[in-house]
Amino acid sequence: MSGGNHTQTEFVLLGITDSPHVQAPLFGLFLLTYIVTLVGNIGIMVLVWVVPSLHTPMYFFLTHFSFADVCYSTVISPKMLADLLSENKTISFAGCVMQFHSIAFFVTAECHLLAVMAYDRHVAICNPLLYVMVISSHVCRRLVASSYIIAFLSAIIYTGCTFGGSFCGPNQIDHFFCDISPVLKLTCSDTRSSEMVIFAFVAINGMGTSTIILLSYICMLRTVLRMCSARSRSRAFNTCASHLMAVSLFYGTIFFVYLQPMSSHRSLDKVASIFYTVVTPMLNPFIYSLRNKEVKGALAKCRRRMLNRCRHRRVVPARK
Rounded Cα–Cα distance for residues 188 and 165 (Å): 7
Please write the tens of the pLDDT for every residue from 257-277: 777 665 555 667 788 888 888
* pLDDT given for residue 224 in this prediction: 80
Confidence of residue 290 (pLDDT cuts 50, 70, 90): low
Output 313 or 179, whichever has higher pLDDT. 179
Round the average pLDDT of the chain to a whole number and report it.
84
Query: Which residue, 25, 114, 105, is CA-closest to 66?
Result: 114
Biggest CA–CA distance in the chain, Å, is 88
- Give me the sign of the Cα torsion angle 210, 250, 272, 179: negative
- Is the pLDDT at 316 greater than 60? The verdict is no
Q: Is residue 320 in some structural domain? A: no
- Is the pLDDT at 115 greater than 60? The verdict is yes
Rounded Cα–Cα distance for residues 291 and 288 (Å): 6
Rounded Cα–Cα distance for residues 158 and 150 (Å): 12
* pLDDT given for residue 227 in this prediction: 73
Confidence of residue 1 (pLDDT cuts 50, 70, 90): very low
As to burial, measured by CB atoms within 10 angstroms (0-12 exposed, 13-18 middle, 19+ buried), residue 276 is buried
The answer to whether the CB of 54 falls within 8 A of the CB of 295 is yes
Confidence of residue 2 (pLDDT cuts 50, 70, 90): very low
pTM higher than 0.85: yes
Residue 144 is part of a domain; what is its CATH number?
1.20.1070.10
Span of 18-22, 146-150, 238-242, 313-317 with lowest mean pLDDT: 313-317
* pLDDT given for residue 223 in this prediction: 84
Domain count for the chain, please give it: 1
Q: Which domain holds residue 122?
A: 10-311
Q: Is residue 318 in some structural domain? A: no
Q: Is residue 220 in some structural domain? A: yes
Q: Is residue 95 in some structural domain? A: yes
Q: Is residue 3 in some structural domain? A: no
Helix segments in the chain, DSSP class H: 20-50, 57-85, 93-126, 131-134, 137-163, 180-184, 192-225, 230-258, 268-274, 280-289, 293-314
How far, in Å, are 12, 176, 254, 275 from residue 183 at the CA level?
11, 12, 17, 20
Rounded mean pLDDT, 222-249: 73
Output 81 or 294, whichever has higher pLDDT. 81
Output 245 or 279, whichever has higher pLDDT. 279
Which residues pair with residue 12 across a beta bridge? 90, 172
Q: Is residue 185 in some structural domain? A: yes
Q: Is residue 1 in some structural domain? A: no
* pLDDT given for residue 296 in this prediction: 66
The answer to whether the CB of 48 falls within 8 A of the CB of 62 is yes
Maximum mean pLDDT: which of 129-138, 152-161, 206-215: 152-161
Q: Is residue 316 in some structural domain? A: no
- Is the pLDDT at 245 greater than 80? The verdict is no
